[in-house]
Amino acid sequence: MERIASTYRQLIQDILLPMEAWKYEPPTTRAEVIFDERRDRYLLVIVGWFNNQNDYSAVVHLDIIDGKIWLHVDKTDQEIYQQLLDGGVPKEDIVRAWLPPSER
């Protein structure tokens, strides 16, 4: 299972890292990727300022739990689920966590 988790870690990082370079509006915000490989948590967040208010939003959140990728949030137009499938992750190893358990 560790080999699979290692492969999944690399794929997730390959998907998220390019998103950090995206340009955001307003230009006072930026993207940050956060990787916690020890706990297998991966995030893309937006941080900065908008209309004199602190702006923070989790855009993508994935975890690896028991050998499966849990996709908690995907607020991109990049179709992370499809990218995982295209990267070789079997459908049964991707949990769309925002869905009720009966629909996953």
Rounded CA gap, 100 and 55, in Å?
A: 29
Beta bridge partners of 2: none
Q: How confident is the model at residue 92 (pLDDT cuts 50, 70, 90)?
A: very high
The model's confidence at residue 28, banded by pLDDT at 50, 70 and 90, is confident
What pTM was estimated for this model as a whole? Answer: 0.88
Average pLDDT over residues 74-103: 94
Domain count of the fold of the chain? 1
pLDDT of residue 4: 81
Host domain of residue 84 = 2-103
CATH of the domain at 7: 3.30.310.110
Q: Report whether 65 contacts 4 (CB < 8 A).
A: no
Q: 3-class DSSP state for residue 26?
A: coil
Q: What integer best gives the mean pLDDT of the chain?
A: 92
